[in-house]
Structure formats: structure tokens, C-alpha cells
């Protein structure tokens, strides 16, 4: 619930039917009983798919939920899957997006990418909470703009802002969750619901109020300040950030959302830079080294003298034809993107 978990995988190549076409034998569960305050959705049926189907069928009775499920059906079909292939019980509620990058050691500069997403709903939740979490995660699944940290200009501030305020981000997802709560359970507010915090004086869900709430980090401000300093940033770089009490906590990281987004960025880039370093090592071996310096010394020189030597080594490799030029281009991209995540 709800930072998107973005996994980065790397491989060496050398070595629908309608989502709403239910089975005739699907379980029938009385909605009133199933959505009672204490009922957990894992107890709806012994069959995992039947439990997921019940959540989907119930969410369809909400106007917002029906719209989200229709778009999610199309999104899952674009992955060659049905809606029920991409929703499953899990340890926490999260949208898990995996970017798979494939390359051959013989041609590490030639890569292919594949993006796959899946929704997990916390199996220990009560039915009402599971329904609202499903609506929340569907927004991430449908609208979150895919990014490629191997190619894009992937900066800390932009990532945090996008995770919270971007299309399909945490604020969009929470506002959709609140709409579904109002439509499915108009006479009873969910216990511990924060939806009232983002309602304006006219009773409408306010994006402005949501932004203000999501940037409240409470006592975590000192920790966040230290973490941001590593990237030459300060909390003041985020206009809405305050040390007021944080009402919104990421279940994925158990910290306020700005800090959770920063941790997510570091997880992604740590893996990306590790993979890029391996890729550069493959390529350097394939074209040979014109000097006796290690790859690490070429990429990570720090003082002025060694930096000059390292740059000279990179220029010598660049002079070894098309492959050398490709290596130099990749190496400079690595140096720029992985400044804070060097691998030896």
C-alpha cells in the first residue's frame, strides 16, 4: 500500500478471454457476511482464485471500481494475461513491477527490455480493507508511467515527486481508494481511514490537501535531511514537506512516503548500477584493454591525477573502433547515473 516495488532483473541470453467471464463453479459468498467488520478475505474460500474473484465481483458494484477494473483488464491483456493472472494474495499490498533486461556477453551493448506488473493484496486484511487496497493498487497498475532506469535521466527529486504526485502515484491511488470507500460503504467509515483528511470544506476530495498530507514526515525529517544531503538536496527542495505529524505511512517500508520513495530509488539504482557494471566488464573483456588499469579505476577515479589517467584510459578504449566507442558511451552514462552507487 503502497510504494510501487520495482525489481530489476538481468539475463545472459547465451548460456483474453474476458477477465469478467467467471467459471460456472465459482463460489457464491454472501456479500453482507463477507464484508462484516471482522471477516478476513483469506477466510472467504479455500481456493485462492475464488477469493480474488470475490473481491473483483464486489468492486464491480462500485462505479469507480468498475471503471478501474475495465482499464486493468485491458492493461493485463497487453501483457498477454487475464485480470486474474495479475492479482494475487501477498504479504503486503503492493504493485510489483519487474523490468527484465536481456543481453548477450558477446554484444552487451545490444539489449532488450520487457516490463511486467502484478498486484498483491495483503492476505491478512479484512475484506473491506482488501477491497480498498485493490482499488488503490489498480491505479498504480493502470496509470503509473513505466520508467527505464537504464536509459532515463533518473534523478532523486524527480523520482520522489513522481512517486507521490505523478500520474498513477500514491496520491492518485489514495484518492481513488477514498471514492471507492464512499461508493461501497456510504454509511460506515473504515476504521482508521484517513480519507477525511483530504476532504475540503465542500465535502469533496481535494488533491491539494492530499499533497499536503503526503509530504508530512514528522520526526523523520532529520533522518530524511541526512539521506537527501547525499544527493545534494534538502527538504526545502520539496515545497510541501513539513515536520508535522505523518498520517500516511508506506506499508512497504514502514516510514512516511517521501522517505519510502527515497529508499525505493536507492534499491532500484543500487541494482541497476551493479548490473551496468557487470555489463561494462563483459564488454571490456570482449574488446580487450589497451592499458593495465582495472575497470574500477577507469570508472571511479577520484583525485585529479588518477582522474586524468582514468580518462586517458577511457579515451584509449574509445579509439578501438566501433566497439570501443560503444563502451565509452556506456561508461560515461554509468559515471553520470551511478555517481552515488559505484561498484568495484
pLDDT at 3 over 90: no
The Cβ-side half-sphere exposure at 232, using a 13 Å CA radius, reads 3
pLDDT in tens, 48-71: 999 999 999 999 999 999 999 999
Element (H, E) at 200: none
pLDDT in tens, 128-186: 999 999 999 999 999 987 777 877 677 899 999 999 999 999 999 999 999 999 999 88
**pTM to 2 decimals?**
0.79
Quick one: average pLDDT of 214-229?
97
Quick one: average pLDDT of 91-118?
72
pLDDT in tens, 245-288: 999 999 889 999 999 999 999 999 998 899 888 888 887 777 76
Residue of 213, 168, 217 lying closest to 194 (CA atoms) = 213
pLDDT in tens, 198-211: 998 888 889 999 99
d(CA 257, CA 264): 10
Element (H, E) at 114: strand 107-122
Round the average pLDDT of the chain to a whole number and report it.
80
**Which pLDDT value is given to residue 103?**
56
Of the ranges 137-151, 207-221, 310-324, 329-343, which is most confident? Answer: 207-221
d(CA 139, CA 325): 42
Higher pLDDT, 119 or 297: 119
Between 25-29, 98-102, 230-234, 335-339, the lowest mean confidence (pLDDT) is in: 25-29
Count H helices, E strands: the chain?
12, 4
d(CA 215, CA 260): 11
DSSP 228-255: HHTTT--GGGSTT-B-S----B-TTTSS
Backbone region of residue 118 per phi and psi (left: phi > 0; alpha: psi in -120 to 50; beta: other values): beta
pLDDT at 11 over 50: no
Amino acid at each position: 500500500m503502497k510504494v510501487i516495488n520495482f525489481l530489476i532483473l538481468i539475463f545472459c541470453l547465451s548460456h483474453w478471454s474476458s477477465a469478467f467471464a467467471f467459471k460456472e463453479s465459482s463460489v457464491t459468498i454472501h456479500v453482507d457476511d463477507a464484508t462484516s467488520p471482522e471477516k478476513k478475505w483469506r477466510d472467504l474460500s479455500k481456493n485462492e482464485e475464488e477469493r480474488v474473484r470475490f473481491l473483483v465481483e464486489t468492486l464491480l458494484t462500485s462505479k469507480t471500481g468498475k471503471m478501474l477494473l475495465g482499464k486493468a483488464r485491458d492493461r493485463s491483456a497487453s501483457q498477454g494475461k487475464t485480470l486474474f493472472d495479475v492479482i494475487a494474495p501477498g504479504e503486503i499490498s503492493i504493485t510489483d513491477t519487474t523490468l527484465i533486461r536481456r543481453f548477450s556477453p558477446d554484444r552487451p551493448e545490444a539489449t532488450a527490455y520487457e516490463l511486467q506488473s502484478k498486484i498483491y493484496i495483503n492476505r491478512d486484511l479484512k475484506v473491506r480493507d482488501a477491497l480498498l487496497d485493490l482499488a488503490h493498487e489498480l491505479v498504480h497498475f493502470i496509470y503509473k508511467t513505466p520508467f527505464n532506469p537504464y536509459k532515463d535521466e533518473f534523478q532523486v527529486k524527480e523520482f520522489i515527486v513522481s512517486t507521490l504526485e505523478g500520474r498513477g502515484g500514491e496520491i492518485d491511488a489514495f484518492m481513488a481508494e477514498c471514492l471507492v470507500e464512499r461508493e461501497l460503504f456510504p454509511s460506515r467509515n473504515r476504521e482508521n481511514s484517513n480519507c477525511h483528511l483530504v476532504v475540503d470544506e465542500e465535502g469533496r476530495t481535494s488533491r491539494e490537501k492530499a499533497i499536503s498530507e503526503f509530504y508530512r514526515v514528522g520526526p523523520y525529517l532529520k533522518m530524511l535531511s541526512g539521506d537527501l544531503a547525499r544527493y545534494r538536496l534538502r527538504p526545502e527542495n520539496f515545497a510541501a514537506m513539513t515536520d508535522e505529524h505523518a498520517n500516511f505511512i508506506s506499508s512497504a517500508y514502514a516510514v512516511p512516503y517521501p522517505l519510502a520513495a527515497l529508499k525505493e530509488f536507492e534499491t532500484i539504482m543500487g541494482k541497476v548500477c551493479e548490473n551496468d557494471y557487470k555489463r561494462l566488464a563483459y564488454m571490456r573483456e570482449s574488446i580487450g584493454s589497451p592499458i593495465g588499469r582495472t575497470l574500477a579505476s577507469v570508472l571511479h577515479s577520484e583525485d585529479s591525477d588518477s582522474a586524468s589517467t582514468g580518462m586517458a584510459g577511457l579515451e584509449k578504449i574509445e579509439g578501438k573502433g566501433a566497439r570501443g566507442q560503444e563502451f565509452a558511451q556506456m561508461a560515461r552514462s554509468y559515471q553520470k547515473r551511478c555517481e552515488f552507487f559505484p561498484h568495484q
